[in-house]
Structures are given as C-alpha cells and as structure tokens.
Amino acid sequence: MQAASALEDVVWEPFGFLSYTRAHREFYAGILEDHADLQLCLVDASDDEPVALVNCVPFHYARDLGDLPQEGWDWLVETGARTSAARPNVLGALAVSVASEHRGKGYAQRMIGELKAMAIRRGFDAVVVPVRPSSKWQNPYVPMSDYLGWKNEKGEVYDPWLRSHIAQGASIIGSCERSMVVNEPISFWETWMGRRFDRSAPYVLKGALAPIQVDLERECGLYEEPNVWVSYRI
C-alpha cells in the first residue's frame, strides 16, 4: 500500500496543485482506504515494485450516464465519499498512474482492461472516467469542447489518452468543464509558477489544461480544469 501511494505521489508531483481541490483534501485519501479492495496495482515480478495503478470509487447513479455533471472528478470523489443505502452500480476511475520508466509499454491500456474486468467481476453496470487528456496542456486556451473535435492525420480523435480509452471500448460522453476546481491565494499560484503577477489576467501554468484566472483585487487565483467524461458499458 505504501509503495503504491509513493508511486502515485511521484507520478502526479508535477501536477500537485490539483491536490488542493476541496474534494481531494477532504475525501480522497479516505475513499481509497474505505475501498482498498477496488484499487488496482500492477507489480513488477522481478522486484515486487509497483509499476502502474488505477484508483477507483464505487457509487450509485440512477440517471442516464449522459447526464453526468460538469464537476467531474471532484463530484465523483464527493459522491463516492457519501454513504448511500442504494447498492453502488457504477465504478468510477479517478486516476491511472504509470511509473515514468515504464511508460510506452502498454501498461496504461492493460490497467484499463483490468479495470473493466474487475467491474464485471464485482457486478457493476458501467465504468465512468473523468479523463484528463494527455496533450490538452499544450493548448490551454482551446475550449475542451473544441479540442474534442480535433482529429489526427488518420481521422481519429486527436488526443492519445482519449484514443487509448476509445480503443478499449469507451464512449465519449462529453466535457466536464469544472472537473477539478482549485481556488487559492495569489501567493499559492506565484509559488507554483515561480513568478509575480502584476495584473489581473489569465496565466498559463505548465501542465494545466486551462489558464489560471488571477484576480488581484480579490487576491486569489481560480483554476477550473476541464476533463472529458467517458463510459464503458459492462
């Protein structure tokens, strides 16, 4: 468990600002502990070290999956943290983490396959994922709704991580524009960006999928990360 947590910390360290959403601070660690049996870890048999992880949370959802909310990841964490009398019928994937030295070996795709297999074994009706498109950070000012329409030279969905999900049988539901919301003081963002802000404006932080909206009068910066809901019918 500790080794798996350490791997997740290392993989997501460049995006550590995302751990400051309210949902992450208040609920994330707790739901991983409460649902330890639903966390997947791929281990290298040669040294027993984890090479890939999938973190999940089960929840009950009575509506059509096409109605999943704009709050995406934060909503999924908060919903999974709430107790419900109804049996969980959907499995939500919160993160897929692969050690940097093992990327490009197909482990992420393998973990998606393992995720689907676990959902079948455990009797879930569907798997949903608020996907963080891997190349979106290169175009932070492009709306996610526009980015979803981009195609590569083969006419496929442009983003490689979204393509991986589609190749595994996922259907794209649509964007979730406020999937992870971080609202922190100016000093927080100045530390992360290594610079001072001289005016209220949108600023780009490397790795972020959208600009940080800095408001000097209110002395805060707001980041609303857009993700993409995808679903797997089991």
Digit-by-digit pLDDT tens for the chain (234 residues) are 677 888 899 999 999 999 999 999 999 999 999 999 999 999 988 888 899 999 999 999 999 999 999 999 999 999 999 877 789 999 999 999 998 888 889 999 999 999 999 999 999 999 999 999 999 999 999 999 999 999 999 999 999 999 999 999 999 999 999 999 999 999 999 999 999 999 999 999 999 999 999 999 999 999 999 999 999 988
Domains of the chain: 2-180+227-233 (3.40.630.30)
Helices (H), 22-148: 22-23, 29-34, 72-81, 107-121, 144-147
In 3D, which of 94, 58, 96, 90 has the Cα closest to residue 73?
Answer: 94
Radius of gyration of the chain (CA): 18
